[in-house]
Amino acid sequence: MSDINAFIEEQVKNNDVFLFMKGSPDFPQCGFSGQVVQILNYLGVDYASANVLESDELREGIKTYTNWPTIPQLYVKGEFVGGCDIIREMFQAGELQSHMTTNGITVKEAS
């Protein structure tokens, strides 16, 4: 399990915004992952992602890493922010946008 933890650490530390999800941003394979992708795309945020469906080790490893039972999981500047419900609520309240800009992440202005 240490190899998967090293992979997870590397991704969350080397990418300002990182999403562990089911599927890819171009083809989300679950509605919750799709919602987070829509929010990030709406905000115009640059982010990287990993498809947990490609590896059982990654799918279980990320849950253990954060002690969070569900996927997707969003990280900003190495910090776990939350899953779909938390991200959606933060977005609707304007908190996600503030969190991003506070951390130096460029967010597109609402049109």
Q: Over the stretch 26-84, which tens digit does the pLDDT of each residue have?
A: 999 999 999 999 999 999 999 999 999 999 999 999 999 999 999 999 999 999 999 99
Integer angstrom CA distances of residue 71 from 5, 31, 63, 103, 104: 16, 11, 8, 23, 25
| Banded pLDDT at 101 (limits 50, 70, 90) | very high
Asked if the model's pLDDT at residue 108 lies above 50, the reply is yes
> What CATH topology corresponds to 2-102?
Glutaredoxin (3.40.30)
- Residue 109: its pLDDT value, please? 72
Task: Give me the mean pLDDT over the 15-25 stretch.
Answer: 98
Three-state secondary structure call for residue 27: strand
Q: Residue 110: what pLDDT?
A: 58
Please state the pTM of the whole predicted model: 0.94
Gap between the Cα atoms of 91 and 94, Å rounded: 5
Band the pLDDT of 2: cuts 50, 70, 90: confident
